[in-house]
Amino acid sequence: MVLSNEQVWDELENIRLRQVPWHKKPAVFSALQTLGLIVPAPQQILSNGNRPAVQIAVLTGEGKAELERLAGYRHAAEWARLRGSEYAYAGRGG
């Protein structure tokens, strides 16, 4: 799966702000997991104890650092050029 810099920033920011169920975006989340940026974590639904836990996406330490790095680019003049470019992670996973 090919993601742009803007897509990666948007997804990481959404994960940081919300509890996003893994099943909503399995292909995108699997790609980000392969890079070591997120992991699935069980989230028990409190309203009904009989329901199984739902897997949500959670940022790893590397994911938090990458979100900060991309946020820095978003405030730079070059973001207009970089945002649509193919994302290339220089960290551990890629």
Task: Please give the model's pTM, rounded to 2 decimal places.
Answer: 0.85
Mean pLDDT of 38-65: 85
Q: Which long-range contacts (CB under 8 A, 24 or more apart) does 17-23 make?
A: 19/43, 19/56, 20/56, 20/57, 21/54, 21/55, 21/56, 21/57, 22/54, 22/55, 22/56, 22/57, 23/54, 23/55
pLDDT over 80 at 91, yes or no: no
Strand locations in the chain, DSSP E?
38-43, 54-59
Reported as a single tens digit per residue, the pLDDT across 55-64 is 999 999 999 9
Q: Are 13 and 67 in contact (CB under 8 A)?
A: yes
**Whether residue 79 has pLDDT greater than 60:** yes
Give the model's pLDDT for residue 94. 46
